[in-house]
């Protein structure tokens, strides 16, 4: 199958370099020709390419202009992107073309010192910040940071965001999934709308209760919305386990359970004064 080559398009139609690189990740598939621009299909798939044989009355393009359906970075929307008939050739296979596009789109480094606004705050881009995939929608501002997916942002130094609408804010933080936020240094947030707000904290699940006091090392959220956050499970830095949003942790290696009032239920027939021995309240381990 004939395809438009990346190298020829770059040399012959410099104006559209970014559109070519961004639009053709899956390859350009030549579908044939139509008589006029109005005859181009309304249900095209990204990468579909047609030759429009006649300019018609518009006079804006020459006879034989090639049009490819892809993301137009100027219009910020999908559109038919045009190339003059001398700006391309159809001499390579799909596999060769895709390989060239993959090499060209290994990532785009954001110009150091550029001002970028994310969620209402303006940042100055650090050295080595890099974006992938949706180049206009993803933002990378931290030095050596990396943003990929769709509408993601990497703000912290050496941070990494991926998925959809995620934010990696802390130094060396990592956010993935959908609408997750990793604020703590070396933190990791994944799942749906989780928040990892303390250093070296790992959060997963969905809509967890935010811990910005570094109480927990690991949290699994089971909330249902931003206004109904909840934790199914959490582990603090001493290894105590907290379930169902409890403020009281249980150490499975100890021989007692401590209640919120400080009183302890012991796994033995005796207990210190003021505490409860096993069996005295009909509870046994």
- For position 261, what pLDDT does the model report? 78
Question: How confident is the model at residue 60, as a pLDDT?
Answer: 57
Please give the full DSSP string across 104-158, using - where no structure is assigned: HTS-EEPPTT-EEEETTEEEEPPTT-EE-SSTTT-EE-STT-EE-SBS-EE-STT
Residue 257, pLDDT score: 72
Report, as ranges of residue numbers, the positions in the chain whose pLDDT lies below 70.
1-27, 56-62, 73-75, 83-107, 252-254, 279-285
Q: What is the pLDDT of residues 168-225, one digit of tens each?
A: 999 999 999 999 999 999 999 999 999 999 999 999 999 999 999 999 999 999 999 9
What does the domain layout of the chain look like in residue ranges? 6-106, 109-243, 254-285
CB 223 within 8 A of CB 232: no
φ, ψ of residue 258 to 5 degrees: the values are -100, 130
Candidates 67, 83, 81, 72; CA nearest to 34 is 67
Position 217 scores a pLDDT of 98
- Residue 135: the pLDDT is 77
Query: Does this model's pTM top 0.85?
Result: no
Do 28 and 121 form a contact (C-beta atoms < 8 A)? Answer: no
Token pair 């090499």 is found at 103
Fold of 109-243: Alkaline Protease, subunit P, domain 1 (2.150.10)
Q: For 242-263, how does the pLDDT look when each residue is reduced to its tens digit (9 = 90+)?
A: 999 998 887 766 677 777 777 8
Give the DSSP per-residue string, 204-241.
EEESPPP--SS-EEEEEEE-SBTTB--EEEEEETT--E
Q: What is the pLDDT of residue 29?
A: 76
């Amino acid at each position: 199958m004939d395809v438009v080559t990346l190298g020829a398009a770059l040399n012959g139609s410099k104006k559209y370099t970014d559109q070519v690189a961004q639009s053709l990740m899956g390859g350009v598939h030549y579908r044939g020709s139509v008589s006029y621009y109005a005859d181009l299909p309304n249900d095209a798939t990204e990468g579909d390419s047609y030759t429009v044989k006649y300019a018609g009355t518009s006079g804006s393009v020459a006879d034989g202009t090639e049009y490819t359906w892809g993301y137009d970075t100027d219009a910020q929307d999908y559109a038919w992107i045009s190339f003059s008939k001398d700006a391309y050739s159809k001499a390579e296979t799909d596999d060769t073309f895709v390989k060239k596009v993959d090499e060209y789109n290994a990532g785009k480094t954001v110009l150091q010192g550029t001002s970028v606004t994310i969620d209402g705050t303006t940042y100055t881009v650090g050295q080595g910040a890099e974006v992938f995939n949706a180049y206009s929608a993803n933002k990378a501002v931290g030095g050596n940071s990396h943003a990929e997916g769709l509408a993601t942002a990497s703000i912290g130094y050496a941070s990494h965001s991926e998925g959809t609408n995620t934010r990696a804010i802390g130094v060396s933080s990592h956010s993935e999934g959908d609408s997750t936020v990793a604020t703590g240094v070396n933190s990791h947030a994944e799942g749906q709308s989780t928040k990892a707000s303390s250093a070296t904290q790992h959060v997963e699940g969905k809509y967890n209760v935010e811990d910005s006091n570094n109480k927990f090392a690991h949290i699994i959220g089971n909330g249902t919305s931003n206004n109904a956050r909840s934790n199914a499970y959490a582990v603090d830095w001493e290894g105590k386990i907290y379930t169902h949003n409890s403020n009281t942790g249980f150490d499975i290696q100890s021989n007692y359970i401590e209640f919120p009032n400080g009183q302890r239920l012991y796994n033995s027939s005796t207990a210190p004064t003021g505490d409860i021995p096993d069996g005295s309240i009909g509870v046994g381990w």
